Copies of this chain bind each other. A is one copy, B any other.
Amino acid sequence: MRNYNETTITDAVLERVRNARTPRVRQISEALVRHLHSFVREVRPTQEEWEYGIDFLTRTGHTCDDNRQEFILLSDTLGVSMLLDAINHAMPRGATETTVLGPFFVQSAPERQNGDDISGGLEGDPLLVNGSVVTVDGLPVAGAIVDVWHSDNEGYYDVQQLDRIGHFAMRARFRTGADGSFHFWSIKPAPYPVPHDGPVGEMLAAQGRHPWRPALVHFKISAPGFEQLVTHVFLAGDRYLDSDVVFGVKDSLVRELILAPPRAQQNDALVNKGHYTLTYDFCLRRLTDTPLS
């Protein structure tokens, strides 16, 4: 219980957490100590490197506020968030794959009607999104709540430029109709860098990595009796599909944009204009579905 050296210190700390409040706290604490000590023993940090690490974590905490979560960004860029996604979302065959929520989701997105234009007047190439929500058996899910959000044509989200535009844009909440479908107008999103003016940006630069994510539209879909689906649809052909800084791309989530010529389209906000169309059918897992082993 004294005189610990490089090898005995680990068992000493493990011994100290034996009386943890719950078996799960003990399990997590033991694993944390073992892996953290293994990391330190392998890397053998100098005193100065340890001080850098302490300072890096401190600055990462100080960068977090109501509008920014630098530790989630650290988790995302180190691949931890997608590892967690893989662990927790073993999907039944046929359900839509999941990916990260990302830092730009907002709880209070405005409710809109199918066919609305949610671009908020921002400039860009018109985009019609046609979606449907179905069960793994192909049955429509009526009344599902569909949150959507995406970047503008320069890669900025509305929450990054609220001072300038004054309102939410490219962000809305829809409900699916009796046939499980929803559709809306917006503008074509662009690739975007994750916030890289803080500690995570410093890490990415030191690691020789770019901060970019490919162009995508976020979806968060909920319906009673179904597991919530958090995913993106990526735009085919994007140059960052194979180097997404948060490792979030899955082939099943990539779709081609179809360029449609100008035509009359009734009951919709935009008519008689050439536009892109993005179509995706989202397949929800019932809460009672058995995951693939």
Are A43's CB and B62's CB within 8 A? Answer: no
Task: Please tell me how many copies of the chain the complex holds.
Answer: 2
Q: Compute how far the CA of A128 lies from the CA of B35 in the bound complex, rounded to whole angstroms.
A: 44
Are B79's CB and A33's CB within 8 A? Answer: yes
Are B207's CB and A25's CB within 8 A? Answer: yes
Are B242's CB and A20's CB within 8 A? Answer: no
Binary contact readout A53-72 vs B (1 if CB under 8 angstroms, 0 otherwise)? 01001111110100001011
Are A2's CB and B249's CB within 8 A? Answer: yes
Known interface pairs A28-B43, A84-B47; A79-B13 also in contact (CB < 8 Å): yes
Interface size on A, residues (CB 8 A): 75
Q: Compute how far the CA of A58 lies from the CA of B69 in the bound complex, rounded to whole angstroms.
A: 8
Q: Does A6 contact B (CB under 8 A)?
A: yes
Known interface pairs A41-B83, A50-B84; A78-B35 also in contact (CB < 8 Å): no
Within 8 A of B (CB), among A1-55: 1-6, 9-10, 12-13, 16-22, 25-29, 31-33, 35-47, 49-50, 54
Are B207's CB and A20's CB within 8 A? Answer: yes
Q: Which residues from B are CB-within-8-Å of A19?
A: 207-209
Are B54's CB and A12's CB within 8 A? Answer: no
Q: Compute how far the CA of A42 lies from the CA of B58 in the bound complex, rounded to whole angstroms.
A: 27
Are B10's CB and A83's CB within 8 A? Answer: yes
What's the minimum C-beta distance from A70 to chain B, rounded to whole angstroms? Answer: 8
Binary contact readout A128-168 vs B (1 if CB under 8 angstroms, 0 otherwise)? 00000000000000000000000000000000000000000
Are B36's CB and A86's CB within 8 A? Answer: no
Are A208's CB and B87's CB within 8 A? Answer: no
What's the minimum C-beta distance from A216 to chain B, rounded to whole angstroms? Answer: 13
Q: Which residues from B are CB-within-8-Å of A206?
A: 20-22, 25, 29
- Chain B minimum-CB-distance residue to A49: B28
What's the minimum C-beta distance from A237 to chain B, rounded to whole angstroms? Answer: 14
Q: Compute how far the CA of A78 lies from the CA of B79 in the bound complex, rounded to whole angstroms.
A: 24
Chain A residues within CB distance 8 Å of chain B: 1-6, 9-10, 12-13, 16-22, 25-29, 31-33, 35-47, 49-50, 54, 57-62, 64, 69, 71-72, 75, 78-84, 86-88, 205-209, 241-244, 247, 249-251
Known pairs A28-B45, A57-B71. 14 more at Cβ < 8 A?
A2-B244, A2-B250, A3-B250, A6-B83, A9-B247, A18-B208, A19-B209, A28-B49, A31-B43, A36-B80, A40-B80, A54-B71, A54-B75, A61-B71
